[in-house]
Copies of this chain bind each other. A is one copy, B any other.
Amino acid sequence: MTEDELIAGIGVRLRGVAAPRVLVGIGDDAAVWQPSRSNRSVITTDALVEGVHFTRDTMSARDAGWRALASNLSDVAAMGARPVLATVALGFPRGTDPDWLLGCYDGIAALAERARCPVVGGDLTLAPAITLAITVVGEVRPSNLKRRDGALPGDVVAVTGPLGASAAGLRVAGDPALRSDGRFADVLAAFRTPEPRLQAGRRLGASRHVRAMMDVSDGLSTDLGRLCAASGVGAVVETIPVHSGARRVAAVTGDDPERWALDGGEDFELLIAVQKRAFAHVAVRVAAATGEQLVRIGTITAEPGVRRADGTVIPPAGWDHLR
């Protein structure tokens, strides 16, 4: 198979994703689209690397493709935006089975179709390990754009769902005996094929009561710390919402599921600071529109730092590539 033949095979896989806004897609030096005149554009880039984020034992080609696109879509959701298009840079070792590479694009295409996010271009290159660097462009009405720096003391801190499932799934995926145990299918799916909260993100973006928003990709302890630092505030965490599937895994493995929820990362839930008096209303609106339950976890404080209700500091212990 030549590079041009592989590109043709990739094109076939991506053809099913509707691309009404794309004027020039795969095949030229760059892709071309017409941005909406009334919106702002957003852009985010995220990479998934074999041996760092996944192994071929723990994730299929399809899952790796899905997962790589999911983290980018989650960032778009966290701005209150909707996806417009994506590009994919794929690196792979010499001799990689072309079917693995095409399977990877099957996973990208499956999520791209669901998210209405056509893949319009990219790059193929040799690399020492499978490397997927994906960029997603999105759009948002100026009034709906959410940043992470608007939280105010007294705001309710909430997430779009319980945490720790992805870390539990990573634990299960790495153990052949656990991996084949059907009881853990939910956390395996949370790790392998996370669902970016696009609908909830748009709904939360449209609420003027939501003052700050970001996604939980590096762990709540790290990401809530970042939201607070950007906003010049602190937070008290009253409840750590641990995913029930993570509790089920931890009961077997002896791990601490609260640690997974605090530090595990990659849950791709949205983390928000909401005006206190509006929280219940916002939660009802989000649940009605998306079926997702906002989970209240704490309160924004004037005092900097992230603490438990008893005052003990929660240090940022999530993912850090240099540690």
- Give the chain B neighbours of A304 by CB distance below 8 A: none
Interface residues in A63-97 by Cβ distance below 8 A to B read: 74-76, 78-79, 81, 85, 87-89, 91
Given A1-B322, A32-B41, also A49-B79 (CB < 8 A): no
Interface residues in A1-40 by Cβ distance below 8 A to B read: 1-6, 23-24, 27-35, 37, 40
- Give the chain B neighbours of A98 by CB distance below 8 A: 322
Residue from A40, A124, A133 whose CB has the most chain B CB atoms within 10 Å: A133
**Mask for A140-173, Cβ within 8 A of B = 1, else 0?**
1000010111000000000000000000000000
Interchain CB contact under 8 A, B214 and A49: no
Work out how many copies of this chain go into the complex: 2
Q: Which of B3, B137, B145 contacts A322 (CB 8 A)?
A: B3
Given A24-B147, A35-B35, A133-B123, also A30-B3 (CB < 8 A): no
Q: Is A323 an interface residue (CB 8 A)?
A: yes
Interchain CB contact under 8 A, A31 and B47: no
- Give the chain B neighbours of A1 by CB distance below 8 A: 322
Q: Which of B31, B79, B122, B322 contacts A32 (CB 8 A)?
A: B79
Q: Is A135 an interface residue (CB 8 A)?
A: yes
Give CA–CA (A74, B53) in the complex, Å: 31
Q: Which of B29, B120, B123 contacts A79 (CB 8 A)?
A: B29
Number of interface residues of A (CB under 8 A): 69
Rounded to whole Å, the gap between the CB of A24 and the closest CB of chain B is: 6
- Give the chain B neighbours of A290 by CB distance below 8 A: none
Give CA–CA (A30, B41) in the complex, Å: 10
Given A41-B32, A148-B28, A321-B125, also A46-B89 (CB < 8 A): yes
Residue from A2, A43, A120, A123 whose CB has the most chain B CB atoms within 10 Å: A43
**Mask for A98-122, Cβ within 8 A of B = 1, else 0?**
1000000000000000000000111
Interchain CB contact under 8 A, A321 and B3: yes
**Closest chain B residue, CB of each to CB of A31:** B43
Interchain CB contact under 8 A, B45 and A89: yes
Q: Is A195 an interface residue (CB 8 A)?
A: no
Given A28-B147, A75-B30, A125-B321, also A135-B135 (CB < 8 A): yes
**Closest chain B residue, CB of each to CB of A33:** B41
Interchain CB contact under 8 A, A121 and B30: no
Q: Which of B5, B79, B120, B129 contacts A30 (CB 8 A)?
A: B79
- Give the chain B neighbours of A52 by CB distance below 8 A: 125-127
Provide a sorted-by-A list of 30 A–B residue pairs whose CB atoms are within 8 angstroms: A3-B321, A3-B322, A24-B42, A24-B145, A24-B147, A27-B230, A28-B230, A29-B75, A29-B79, A30-B42, A30-B43, A30-B75, A30-B81, A30-B138, A32-B79, A33-B40, A34-B40, A35-B41, A43-B87, A43-B121, A44-B121, A45-B87, A45-B89, A45-B123, A47-B123, A49-B126, A89-B89, A89-B133, A127-B131, A135-B135
Q: Chain A: residues with CB nearer than 8 A to chain B?
A: 1-6, 23-24, 27-35, 37, 40-47, 49, 51-53, 74-76, 78-79, 81, 85, 87-89, 91, 98, 120-129, 131, 133, 135, 137-138, 140, 145, 147-149, 214-215, 230, 320-323
